[in-house]
Amino acid sequence: MPIYEYECEDCGFVFEEIHKINKVPQYVKCEKCGGYAPKRIARSSFILKGGGWAKDGYQNNKCSGG
């Protein structure tokens, strides 16, 4: 299950919650003050490392259709 990040509009507290991908609430109750905490967009921890990715100019132009 994915982890979602929320930030309270009242106290600024940032916290994470795990939800099923098809049941993600846009707003939750703040864990610290009980205020209104909308979902925020967080940076992904997914990083492509190593050579051979599109950013490195790698392309396979060979036709596999015969």
pLDDT at 35 (0 to 100): 93
Residue 1: alpha-carbon gap to chain centroid: 12
Q: Please give the Cα distance from 49 to 8 (Å, whole number).
A: 34
Q: Is this structure's pTM higher than 0.85?
A: no
At 50-62, the pLDDT tens digits run: 666 665 565 555 5
- Domain ranges in the chain are 3-42
- Percentage of the chain beyond pLDDT 70 is 62
pLDDT for residue 65 is more than 60: no
Fold of 3-42: Rubrerythrin, domain 2 (2.20.28)
